[in-house]
Amino acid sequence: MKHLLRLLFFAVCLLSSSHALRAQRAKYAAIINALREAELFDEERRAQLTTVLEQDTTLTFPVTLDQDAQLLEASEQGLRLQTSEVGTTEVRLLPAPQGSIIALIETVSSPQTDALITFLSPSGTPLSSTDLLRLPTTEDFLRGLHLPESTASDRLRTLLDPLHCALTWATTSSTPTLLVRPTLLLSEEDKQSDELKALIAQLPSLASSWSGQTFTPFVRATHP
């Protein structure tokens, strides 16, 4: 009788483990498929990510992949990797009529935060970024701020030319929404200017939502 109970207990555990594994694979099926079909990253990195996303029912982030990389976040529609001390790569699937378009955001954090976004078809073919998204200009961030004629205003314009931005995805929207904020490389003198700091504090973040085919025009996500 005890032997039979042990066998039944083992069978229940085996079935539960199998069910959990299937659930895990189903949860990340879309992103795993995108990694494979679009050949994102090199073969070794794809294998590492697939193994991690399939093996556990619950993941505790960050997950170390090797000495050079960590998986920082993962969801049904995307993931974010730390690829170096100053670099991250984020993959996001954008639903579209002919299959999900893949958005890649590559970010460096030093000496100044800056990001680049590119788009791929489901098979990994590069798509024209300008057809899908028009990124904001310096004037888009300055519009509506009513800058005074001052040395601080002139300095702010100088800091914004050329324009460097951080790109992130909004976490509170069910529709993929891209947030863009300008980043500035301040000198020690800049940091001592209260007037300049007050102007910088007015700079908004701008938001654009995915419509299913393109991104909508940018609007203010935050207000001074």
Amino acid sitting at position 136: P
Q: What is the pLDDT of residues 35-54, one digit of tens each?
A: 999 999 999 999 999 999 99
CA angle 196, 197, 202 (to 5 degrees): 100
**What distances in angstroms separate CA 49 from CA 32, 65, 116, one per listed residue?**
8, 8, 22
Give me 150's structure tokens: 């001052």
Q: 217: burial class by Cβ within 10 Å (0-12, 13-18, 19+)?
A: exposed
Q: What is the pLDDT of residue 222?
A: 66
pLDDT for res 173: 80
Alpha-carbon distance 207 to 222, whole Å?
9
CA distance 165 to 135: 10
Q: Give the model's pLDDT for residue 67.
A: 86
DSSP label at residue 95: -
pTM, rounded to two decimals: 0.86
Residue 19 pLDDT = 41
H helical segments located in the chain: 2-27, 29-37, 43-55, 129-132, 138-142, 151-159, 188-191, 194-202
How far from 220 is each of 130, 178, 181, 203, CA to CA, in Å? 20, 12, 10, 10
Q: What contacts 51, CB < 8 A, 6 or more positions away? A: none
More confident residue, 204 or 58: 204
Q: How much is the pLDDT for 55?
A: 84
CA 79 – CA 208 distance, rounded (Å): 20
Predicted confidence (pLDDT) per residue in 58-96, tens digit? 789 999 999 889 999 999 999 999 999 999 999 999 999
pLDDT the model gives residue 191: 97
3-state secondary structure of 213: coil
